[in-house]
């Protein structure tokens, strides 16, 4: 008998066919009120779940007594109670690696756009306000040769460092849970404390996961250590930053600008002050949003789920303690 899989993310025809060849699939098109009702109705018979951007807590998963595996189409796993899943021996897998380069591209796009005021000045042209040569009031700042500070030196942090070091001749400083000798050798990078990084970096780039330890890591105290020329980049998770403190730092000139792909609340509220600040470049969580990368992520998730349902250890298992061979 085929396993029952609940899919709350649309797949390409090829991946859907792969999944349907080995499982009975219930597809939920939208995670609106009707979709959530469909999910609740399907959970009692589900052996596997595949999707993204839905907080799966005990209140939902207690409805799924037969659940064996969840394949998240994401790198971040902050939507899951990992201790709960491990206790129930529900295998949680994610999709690292395949989005590393694309997300790093997004980070560097934000670095360049914020430094050179690309969005602000493109809107001047679009609105028909370009009536004379650009002067000092519209000048941006150089990226090449400036100090790049990276907080969180995982795969994405390394990919950002590679672009900065080799592409733009940027000195790289970083902070992570522990020094990374291989990173230091490859990029001539220097490990430093967070206060030192804030005081030295021209660009502060966040690439770390959201955990109980990192939530609210960057607040008023940290922004106060930065310099007026600092440009702040966040491609990690919005809740790593105290958004109100960041807005005040941007308004007051404590920092020069920000490039943001993530926010405390997503989608961003229509009345958010960030939308009215010219020194902010804001994108709608597009870190991995290319056709190629999203298909690769979905394929990775399908591989993970099918392996788990076959009694194998998924390649990208998050909660290793839940697996029993």
Which residues participate in catalysis according to the annotation?
Answer: 237, 266, 285
Which sign does the torsion angle of CA 264, 269, 275, 277 carry?
negative
Q: Quickly count: other Cβ atoms within 10 Å of residue 33's Cβ.
A: 8
Cβ–Cβ under 8 Å, residues 95 and 75: yes
H or E element, residue 267 = none
H-only helix segments in the chain: 13-22, 33-42, 58-61, 82-87, 100-115, 118-126, 155-162, 168, 181-187, 194-200, 220-225, 243-252, 291-309
d(CA 151, CA 86): 29
d(CA 256, CA 227): 8
């Amino acid at each position: 008998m085929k396993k029952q899989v609940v899919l709350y993310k649309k797949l390409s025809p090829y991946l859907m066919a792969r999944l349907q060849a080995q499982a009975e699939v219930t597809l939920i098109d939208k995670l609106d009120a009707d979709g959530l009702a469909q999910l609740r109705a399907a959970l009692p018979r589900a052996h596997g779940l595949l999707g993204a951007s839905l907080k799966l807590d005990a209140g939902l998963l207690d409805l799924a007594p037969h659940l064996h595996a969840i394949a998240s189409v994401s790198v971040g796993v902050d939507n899951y109670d990992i201790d709960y899943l491990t206790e129930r021996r529900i295998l949680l897998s994610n999709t690292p690696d395949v989005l590393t380069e694309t997300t790093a591209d997004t980070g560097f796009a934000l670095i360049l756009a914020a430094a050179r005021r690309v969005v602000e000045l493109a809107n001047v042209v679009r609105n028909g306000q370009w009536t004379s040569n650009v002067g000092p009031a519209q000048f941006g700042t150089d990226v090449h040769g400036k100090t790049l500070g990276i907080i969180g030196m995982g795969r994405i942090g390394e990919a950002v460092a590679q672009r900065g070091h080799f592409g733009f001749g940027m000195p790289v400083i970083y902070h992570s849970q522990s020094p990374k000798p291989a990173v230091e050798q490859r990029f001539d990078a220097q490990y430093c404390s967070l206060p030192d990084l804030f005081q030295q970096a021209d660009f502060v780039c966040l690439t770390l996961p959201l955990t109980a330890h990192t939530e609210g890591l960057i607040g008023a105290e940290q922004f106060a250590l930065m310099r007026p020329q600092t440009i702040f980049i966040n491609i990690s998770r919005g809740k790593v930053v105290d958004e109100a403190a960041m807005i005040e730092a941007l308004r007051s000139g404590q920092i020069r600008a920000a490039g943001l792909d993530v926010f405390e609340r997503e989608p961003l509220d229509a009345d958010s002050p960030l939308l009215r600040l010219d020194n902010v470049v804001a994108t709608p969580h597009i870190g991995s949003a290319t056709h190629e990368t999203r298909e690769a992520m979905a394929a990775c998730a399908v591989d993970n789920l099918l392996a788990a349902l076959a009694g194998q250890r998924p390649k990208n298992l998050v909660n290793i303690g839940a697996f029993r061979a």
